[in-house]
Amino acid sequence: MTEVATMPVMSAPQPPVLPLAAERGLRHCAQIADCSPDLLERLFLRARAHQEALDRRQVVPTLSGLLAINCFLEPSTRTRVSFEAAEQRLGMRTITIGAADSSMAKGESGEDTRRTLESYAPDVIVVRSKEDRLPQGWASRSRCSIINGGDGTTEHPTQALYDRYTIEEAFGDHRDRNILFVGDILHSRVVGSHVALAAMLGTRVFCAGPAEWTDVAAKFRAYPGVIEVVELDAFLPHADVVNPLRVQFERGAGESISLTEYCAGWQINEARLRRAKPSAIVMHPAPVNRDVEISGGVVDSPRSWIQRQGGNGQAVRMAILEWCLGIDL
C-alpha cells in the first residue's frame, strides 16, 4: 500500500480584502439622508465657484487621476453625461457602462456586477438602477464611494440637490419657496428625494395630479406631513415653482388614465400658467414629454428654467464628487 504523506492541517489562503469606503475617507451620496443642511450650503457655494470657473474655462482638476465608473442600468442622457462631464472636468478618468452592454444582459446579478466593478478599485461608482434602493445597498457594502444616479421610484438625490440650487439661483436668496409637483408623483424618484430634503430642512412640498398618482401616503409614510396633496388650479396662485413631471409610461403609468383626460386636467400650459404668480418659475427634471405634462410653448417660454436647471447638474455634481471623494468643502 502506498503511504499518503501526512500534511500539516492548513486553511485555504484567502484573497486580500480592501477596506470599506468609510475607512478610506470616502463618503456616499446614495440618498438625501447622507447629506445635512450645513453640507447643502457648502455644496452650493462650491458649485457656484465651479460654475464661475467653467464660464472662465479655468476649472482646477482637484480629482486628477482618480477613477470613476458610471454604471447606468436604465436609460439616461442628462444624469449620465453631466456626471461624466463633471468627472472629466475635475481630471478624473471615467468608464461608463449601460445595462445592454454589461454582463447583466447575460443574467449577472446586480451584486455580482458591483463586486466586479469594485475589483478594479475605482474611487467612485455612480449607479442608476431600475431596482428600488440598489445604490443604498451597494453603499452599505462598498469599498468605494457610491453615488445614486436614480433608483427605481425611490430617490434621485443629486437631482433634488441641483433643483434646490437652481431655485436659489432663480430667486437670488435662500428663502423657502413653495414647490408644486404636478402629475405622476407616485413613480417619481425625484419627488422622493425632494420630500426627504424638505423633511431634513423642516419645510414642505406640494403636489397635484390624478388621484391614482397622488395616493402617496404609503410611499411617504416615513415623512408624515411633509408632502401635501393640493388641487392644481386652486394652488397655482401660491406656487413659486411649478414642476410638472414626466408621465412614466415605462413604469406602467398611463395605463389607467386617458392622456386626453390628463392633459385637460393637469397639463402645464400657457392658459393654466395665467393663474400662477407672475414671479413663478417652471422647472422639470426632464426628459419632457412635450404637449403631455407640459406644453412645448411653456418649455420654451422665458419663465422656463428647465434648460438652466439641467446645465446646473454639472457644477453641483462636481461639488458632490469632491465631497464624496474626501475633499472638505
Q: How far is the CB of 272 from ligand NCD (least distance, A)?
A: 20
Q: How far is the CB of 156 from ligand NCD (least distance, A)?
A: 5
Residue among 118 and 153 whose Cβ is closer to ligand NCD: 153
Contacts of 93 (CB under 8 A, 6+ apart): 65, 66, 67, 68
- Taking residues 244 to 263 in sequence order and writing x for each that binds ligand NCD by CB under 6 A, - otherwise, the string is --x-----------------
For residue 166, what is its C-alpha cell?
437652481
- 71-100: which residues touch ligand NCD (CB under 6 A)? 78-79
Q: How far is the CB of 154 from ligand NCD (least distance, A)?
A: 10
Q: How far is the CB of 285 from ligand NCD (least distance, A)?
A: 4
C-beta neighbour count of 73 within 10 angstroms: 22
Residue among 26 and 138 whose Cβ is closer to ligand NCD: 138
Which DSSP letter does residue 221 get?
A: T
Binding of residue 309 to ligand NCD (CB under 6 A): no
46 membership: H or E segment, kind and range: helix 37-56
Cα–chain center distance at 325: 18
End-to-end CA gap in the chain: 73
C-beta neighbour count of 297 within 10 angstroms: 13
C-beta neighbour count of 131 within 10 angstroms: 13
Binding of residue 50 to ligand NCD (CB under 6 A): no
- 128-187: which residues touch ligand NCD (CB under 6 A)? 150, 156, 159
CB 129 within 8 A of CB 111: no
Binding of residue 190 to ligand NCD (CB under 6 A): yes
Contacting residues toward ligand NCD, per CB under 6 A = 78-79, 150, 156, 159, 189-190, 246, 285-286
